[in-house]
């Protein structure tokens, strides 16, 4: 197979890194890029136009997606497209890996929700929304990326054409009993339901609509429970949702139980997962974290109190002992002292995050406030004035005592 780009440059294919019903994905360009090569029956003019539409949408959509980059051709005919290669693990694999921490599961779920929400804001319906279409890249700070964008439902406003989703591993309520995909259009509600399933499976390692029955296939079981609004997970012995918090528990109940008239949107799940992640980080750093992390958090809190307190004290000392204040107004010194006192008090009351903000704010004061800079630069003179005043007071007290004797 000899492929070329639009400019005529040859594309040397490397190892096959993925395969689906419409084609295969290969490594290329030294492993930095990937190329999706469609099968013969999928190399249609309509699909080429859909890929071109997605390339335009990628310029304005903020979602983290492996968007199409350049077209590739075989014997002069369109054959597929290039994209950035995402090296990592599929979230379907991650969801069943017991070594993945709950914190990472929540973070991955949050990133998935943000991707789907960004797609919806751009008028895009993912359609084939399942964990297998998301990859967590390798690295110190892995990032979730959506793949297989040519399966999305997208609209070309310039041409007035909408390209539907053509396949889906999972079935939403909009897909069940409606015939072949590609013959009708989906709404974002379809994604909302499948997103809830994906988030649940990522957090708990099991599909929310699987009840463990052996008399039907998993696909049939999920579709039956989706139609009957049966939250199958809760029928399992010992099953509970309390570990994810009340907000997320309520969203799952709205997604899988009840009348199903209002399925939570991606933005609602993102908000609840963000709150849960903040709580987990607080527990990690304040209680269960490593000694070094807790030590640094404690140090930040101490510095957040002491740093502004020292600056405030210097400002007050200048006001009290420097009778010839130059270059700055006494009102500015008072204001600076007041702000620094507030920062020190806030650090003492509200913990490490406020302490970090307090340190940064105090540093900005020293950089941009003439009053703060004057107080620090004249600190030696102020300290000398304090000692002189103390010595004078002590001499006076000694003379008074001598007269009494």
14 SS3 class:
strand
| Alpha carbon distance 322, 93 (integer Å) | 69
User: Residue 344 is encoded by which pair of tokens?
Assistant: 């020190």
More confident residue, 95 or 214: 95
pLDDT, one tens digit per residue, over 368-397 is 787 777 777 777 766 655 556 555 655 655
State the greatest distance between any 2 C-alpha atoms of the chain, in Å, as a whole number.
116
In angstroms, what CA-CA distances link 61 with 82, 114, 203, 269, 362? 18, 12, 27, 20, 38
> With 60 as the cut, is the pLDDT of residue 398 above it?
no
CATH class of 88-288: mainly alpha
Residues of the chain with CATH 1.10.510.10: 88-288
> With 70 as the cut, is the pLDDT of residue 401 above it?
no
Q: What is the DSSP letter of 133?
A: G
Chain centroid offset of residue 327 CA: 47
Q: What is the DSSP letter of 287?
A: I
The stretch 100-127 carries a mean pLDDT of 95
User: Residue 137 is encoded by which pair of tokens?
Assistant: 């890249």
pLDDT, one tens digit per residue, over 306-363 is 988 888 888 888 777 665 555 667 788 888 889 989 998 888 887 677 888 888 988 8
> With 80 as the cut, is the pLDDT of residue 147 above it?
yes
| Closest to 28 in 3D by CA, of 98, 100, 81 | 81
Percent of the chain with pLDDT over 70: 86
In angstroms, what CA-CA distances link 75 with 10, 42, 257, 271? 12, 16, 53, 49
| Alpha carbon distance 198, 209 (integer Å) | 11
> With 90 as the cut, is the pLDDT of residue 282 above it?
no
**DSSP collapsed to 3 states, 32-99:** CEEEEEECHHHCCHHHHHHHHHHHHHCCCCCCCECCCCCEEEECCEEEEEEEECCCEEEHHHHCCCCC
In DSSP terms, 89 is beta-bridged to 136
In angstroms, what CA-CA distances link 43 with 51, 80, 147, 167, 333? 11, 7, 19, 16, 73
pLDDT at 376: 76
140 SS3 class:
coil
Residue pair 116/195 in contact (Cβ under 8 Å)? The answer is yes
* Strand stretches in 299-379, DSSP E: none
- CATH assignment of 3-84? 3.30.200.20
pLDDT at 403: 54
Alpha helices for 148-245 (secondary structure H): 188-204, 218-228
Residue-level length of the chain: 405
| Alpha carbon distance 247, 183 (integer Å) | 37
| Alpha carbon distance 303, 301 (integer Å) | 6
| Closest to 62 in 3D by CA, of 121, 108, 136 | 121
Give me the chain's average pLDDT, please.
Answer: 84
pLDDT, one tens digit per residue, over 218-277 is 788 888 888 888 888 887 777 778 888 889 999 999 999 877 778 899 999 999 999 999
Residues of the chain with CATH 3.30.200.20: 3-84
Q: At what angle do helices 291-321 and 330-350 cross, to 10 degrees?
A: 160
pLDDT at 367: 80
């Amino acid at each position: 197979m000899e492929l070329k780009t639009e400019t005529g440059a040859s594309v040397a294919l490397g190892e096959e890194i993925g395969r689906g019903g419409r084609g295969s994905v290969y490594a290329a360009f030294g492993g930095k890029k990937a190329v999706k090569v469609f099968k013969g029956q999928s190399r249609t003019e309509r699909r080429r136009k859909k890929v071109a539409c997605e390339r335009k949408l990628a310029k304005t959509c903020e979602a983290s997606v492996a968007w199409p980059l350049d077209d590739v051709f075989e014997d002069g005919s369109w054959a597929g497209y290039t994209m950035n290669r995402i090296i990592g693990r599929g979230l379907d694999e991650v969801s069943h890996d017991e070594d993945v921490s709950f914190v990472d599961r929540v973070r991955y779920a949050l990133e998935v929700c943000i991707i789907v929400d960004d797609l919806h804001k751009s008028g895009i319906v993912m359609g084939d929304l399942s964990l297998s279409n998301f990859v967590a890249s390798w690295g110190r700070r892995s990032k979730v990326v959506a793949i297989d964008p040519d399966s999305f439902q997208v609209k070309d406003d310039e041409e007035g054409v909408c390209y539907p989703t053509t396949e889906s591993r999972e079935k939403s309520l909009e897909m069940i009993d409606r015939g072949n995909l590609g013959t009708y259009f989906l709404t974002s509600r379809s994604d909302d339901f499948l997103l809830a399933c994906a988030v649940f499976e990522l957090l708990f390692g099991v599909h929310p609509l699987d009840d463990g029955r052996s008399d039907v296939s998993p696909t049939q079981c999920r579709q039956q429970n989706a139609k009957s609004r049966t939250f199958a997970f809760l029928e399992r012995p010992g099953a509970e949702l309390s570990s994810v918090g009340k907000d997320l528990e309520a969203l799952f109940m709205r997604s899988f139980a009840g009348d199903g008239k209002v399925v939570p949107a991606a933005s609602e799940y993102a908000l609840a997962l963000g709150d849960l992640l903040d709580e987990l980080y607080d527990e990690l750093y304040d209680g269960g974290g490593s000694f070094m992390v807790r030590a640094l958090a404690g140090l930040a809190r101490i510095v957040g109190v002491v740093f502004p307190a020292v600056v405030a004290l210097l400002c007050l000392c200048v006001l009290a002992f420097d009778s010839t204040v130059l270059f700055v107004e006494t009102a500015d010194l008072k204001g600076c002292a007041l702000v620094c006192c507030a920062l020190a008090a806030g650090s003492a009351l509200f913990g490490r995050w406020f302490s970090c903000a307090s340190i940064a704010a105090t540093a900005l004061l020293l950089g941009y406030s003439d009053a703060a800079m004057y107080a620090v630069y004249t600190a030696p003179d102020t300290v000398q004035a304090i000692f002189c005043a103390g010595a004078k007071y002590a001499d006076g007290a000694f003379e008074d005592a001598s007269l009494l004797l």
